[in-house]
């Protein structure tokens, strides 16, 4: 009997472990944002997707706060089928509808099940139908009586919607489902109307632009009340995502610039640096008390509710009576609501770079210690913080929590720049691609450090993770003197946008353990193996220019890596003298290189690929093309061991699949 009990206990423990292992993701939003794209093709994901389809109403929207992954009983499934015909509780509050649409996009990317596509498109139509003529969105649609009809910024509801329709209107690859041209145009117009609504609802104090309220009246656009404890007020939380959305718009109008300037000044004015929130937790980790502790030089925070005219923070219980301090309201509301937030710091940190980019004079309000450690200007004429780029790197904090922007004014910077491993989150931003130039002339022979001298030749070395480079020209000017790198990337998650990379042999080196990099709208030129290395890299809308007859790529992809170098919507050009150019050859035998929707000039050799005298590479490498065009695209003449992808195979080469990482959507930031 005792032995039986022991076995029973062991069995129950094993079952418990299995259950716990299967429920690693306990919250629905966490499941949606899983970074393993292939998971969305598993039976587990498909089972959850059936629930998501059931919960979607026929009108296209979903209810909020549902744990979609929870198993449904037959009765629950039957009830949901009946409710589908209604419009009960369809909303965009708390991320509802927008997050389910993202889930459906991920499911369709892996399975191509048309039900997921139809579900996504119904959700999109729901969002478009719900928009008011003035550009705002209500919290519930169809309209639900009460404060729910107000234009709702609360919990980022409207911003979430605009962040869905924007990439569709811009025809990006963020979502796997491509609507019709008519719907794309509707999304463009809806986004523009949303921006117009945002500009019109920005609150003015004595004719000075400030921030936004959580709700605005759908007719008058004036501040509006919601729940009893959510009185009309300026919001130190909801205003953040609104400003960041406006700051992300390329070529902003004078009205958008004025809105951002006003909001930034308001955030600077209303920050609180003499209080810290202390939370008291019980044994289960639940908050049982919150206290605001007076502290000198505390990190800035902002109140969720501020008086419309004085900016003074206030707090309310369910009786709707304003209080001046948090300790004056009851336990339930005090501990069950976010009354303070540090989100505003992102606006203050990003504003200086945005201001310079858009020709906005930065006021003394942003010359704080925070600005000095997170934002530097490099200018050869002495008008910035440094005259050399490397000095700005040296001044940058190690492993910062936030981005550190190094803004480089026009000029030719003849220096060798290295961003070491400790300098993560660096943004190198040039004033203009054509006139902000980093140049140096190291090459293999000049370095003369033995057989690996190539790896010391780079003009710019990026060893830090999560860096971004934009609006720059990076040159290795040594000429045709053997291996000489312009850009070397050994960190992870490095994004290069609107840059020119110029060299000869070995222009661009991409490495790092399990590293992934993203190149967008770049011009890259060289001679032999001028894009090489072991990292995974996606090149989108880039021009790849061969200076002479040779090889474009030399990948050394590790065997276990799913993607190597992927070129999408790129243009392959060449100098007149370059008449025999190969798409690639294998530096290591498991090399992977794929060209999708690219335009290939007649410099590309008919056979396309070369094995570098490595017969094993013909068995183990993966060289492929899909839907390319131009005189250089001759699929019937390619070497027999290369591949022409099917439409289904090509559909897996999405930005999300290629660049998936533990840092979600890093490539979109």
For 349-384, b/e burial (b = at least 16 CB within 10 A) is bbbbbbbbbbebebeeebeeebbeebbbbbbeeeeb
Among all chains, which residue has been given the structure tokens 């850009």?
A: 487
Q: Looking up tokens 């902000």, which residue turns up? A: 436
Identify which of 474, 482, 534, 476 has the alpha carbon closest to the alpha carbon of residue 505.
482
114 is catalytic: no
Q: Structure tokens of 302? A: 């902002």
What is the number of other CB atoms lying within 10 angstroms of the CB of residue 504?
Answer: 24
Tell me which of 155, 465, 506, 521 is the catalytic residue.
Answer: 506
Q: Which of 326, 156, 164 is nearest to 229 (CA)?
A: 326
Stated as kind and residue range, the H or E segment containing 275 is: strand 275-281
**Residue 666, preceding peptide bond in cis (omega within 30° of 0):** no
DSSP alpha helices (H): ranges in 87-215? Answer: 98-111, 114-130, 157-169, 181-201
Which of 493, 489, 492 has the alpha carbon at shortest distance from 533?
Answer: 489
Tell me which residue has tokens 């992977």: 592
Is 369 noted as a catalytic residue in this protein? no
Name 519's bridge partners: 496, 539
Contacts of 640 (CB under 8 A, 6+ apart): none
Which strands form 599-600's sheet, in the order they lie side by side?
411-414, 436-440, 473-476, 500-502, 523-526, 543-546, 571-574, 599-600
Say which residue the tokens 């032999």 belong to. Answer: 528
DSSP letter assigned to residue 478: S
* Cα-based distances in Å from 385 to 173, 343, 409, 471: 38, 27, 11, 19
One of 93, 113, 529, 661 is an active-site residue; which one? Answer: 529
| Residue carrying structure tokens 């037959």 | 74
* E strand residue ranges, 417-542: 417-419, 426-430, 436-440, 460-462, 468-470, 473-476, 487-489, 494-497, 500-502, 508-510, 516-520, 523-526, 531-533, 536-540
Nearest by Cα to 313 from 299, 292, 295:
292
Question: Could you tell me which of 474, 450, 547 has the C-alpha nearest to residue 505?
Answer: 547
Active site residues: 506, 529
């Amino acid at each position: 009997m005792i032995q039986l009990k022991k076995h029973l206990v062991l069995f129950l423990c094993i079952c418990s472990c299995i259950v716990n292992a299967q429920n690693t993701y306990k919250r629905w939003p966490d499941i949606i944002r899983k970074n393993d794209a292939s998971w969305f093709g598993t039976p587990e994901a498909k089972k959850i997707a059936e629930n998501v389809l059931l919960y979607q109403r026929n009108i296209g929207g979903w209810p909020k706060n549902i744990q979609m992954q929870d198993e449904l009983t037959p009765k629950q499934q039957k009830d949901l089928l009946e409710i589908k015909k209604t419009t009960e509780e369809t909303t965009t509050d708390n991320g509802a509808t927008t997050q389910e649409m993202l889930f459906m996009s991920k499911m369709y990317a892996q399975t191509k099940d048309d039900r997921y596509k139809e579900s996504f498109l119904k959700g999109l139509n729901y969002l478009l139908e719900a928009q008011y003529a003035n550009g705002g969105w209500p919290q519930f649609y169809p309209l639900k009586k009460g404060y729910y009809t107000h234009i709702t910024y609360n919990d980022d509801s409207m911003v979430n919607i605009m962040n869905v329709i924007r990439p569709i209107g811009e025809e990006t690859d963020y979502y796997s489902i491509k609507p019709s041209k008519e719907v794309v145009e509707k999304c463009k117009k809806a986004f523009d109307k949303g921006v117009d609504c945002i500009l019109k609802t920005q609150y003015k104090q004595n004719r000075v632009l400030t921030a936004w309220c959580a709700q605005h009246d759908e007719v008058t656009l004036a501040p509006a009340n919601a729940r009893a404890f959510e009185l009309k007020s300026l919001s130190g939380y909801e205003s953040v995502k609104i400003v960041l959305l406006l700051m992300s718009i390329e070529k902003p109008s004078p009205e958008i610039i004025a809105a951002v300037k006003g909001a930034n000044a308001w955030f600077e004015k209303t920050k609180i640096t003499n209080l810290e929130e202390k939370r008291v937790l019980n044994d289960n980790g639940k908050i049982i008390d919150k206290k605001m502790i007076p502290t000198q030089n505390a990190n800035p925070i902002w109140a969720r509710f501020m008086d419309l005219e004085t900016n003074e923070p206030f707090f309310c219980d369910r009786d709707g009576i304003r209080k001046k301090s948090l300790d004056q309201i009851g336990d339930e509301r005090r501990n069950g609501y976010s009354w303070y937030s540090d989100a505003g710091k992102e606006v203050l940190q990003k504003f200086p770079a945005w201001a310079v980019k858009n020709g906005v004079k930065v006021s003394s309000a942003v010359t704080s210690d925070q600005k000095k450690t997170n934002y530097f200007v490099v200018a050869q004429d002495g008008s910035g913080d440094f005259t050399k780029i490397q000095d700005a790197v040296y001044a940058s904090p190690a492993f910062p929590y936030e981005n550190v922007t190094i803004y480089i004014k026009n000029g030719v910077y003849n220096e060798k720049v290295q961003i070491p491993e400790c300098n993560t989150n660096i943004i190198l931003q040039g004033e203009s691609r054509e006139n902000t130039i980093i140049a140096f002339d190291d090459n293999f022979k000049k370095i003369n450090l033995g057989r690996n001298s190539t790896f010391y030749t780079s003009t710019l070395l990026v060893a830090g993770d999560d860096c971004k480079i934009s609006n720059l020209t990076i040159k290795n000017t040594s000429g045709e003197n053997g291996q000489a790198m312009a850009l070397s990337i050994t960190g992870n998650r490095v994004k290069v946008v609107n840059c020119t990379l110029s060299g000869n042999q070995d222009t661009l080196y991409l490495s790092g353990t399990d590293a992934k990099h993203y190149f967008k709208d770049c011009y890259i030129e060289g001679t032999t193996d001028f894009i090489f290395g072991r990292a995974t890299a996606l090149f989108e809308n880039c021009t790849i220019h061969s200076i002479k007859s040779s090889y474009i790529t030399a990948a050394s992809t590790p065997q276990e890596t799913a993607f190597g170098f992927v070129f999408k919507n790129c243009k392959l050009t060449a100098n007149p003298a370059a008449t025999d150019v190969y798409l690639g050859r294998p530096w290591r035998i498991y090399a992977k290189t794929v060209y999708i929707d690219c335009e290939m000039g007649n410099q590309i050799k008919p056979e396309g690929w070369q094995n570098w005298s490595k017969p094993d590479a013909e068995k183990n490498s993966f060289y492929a093309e899909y839907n390319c065009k131009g005189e250089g695209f001759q699929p019937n003449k390619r070497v027999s061991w290369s591949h022409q992808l099917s439409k289904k195979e090509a559909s897996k080469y999405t930005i999300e699949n290629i660049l998936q990482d533990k840092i979600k959507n890093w490539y979109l930031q």
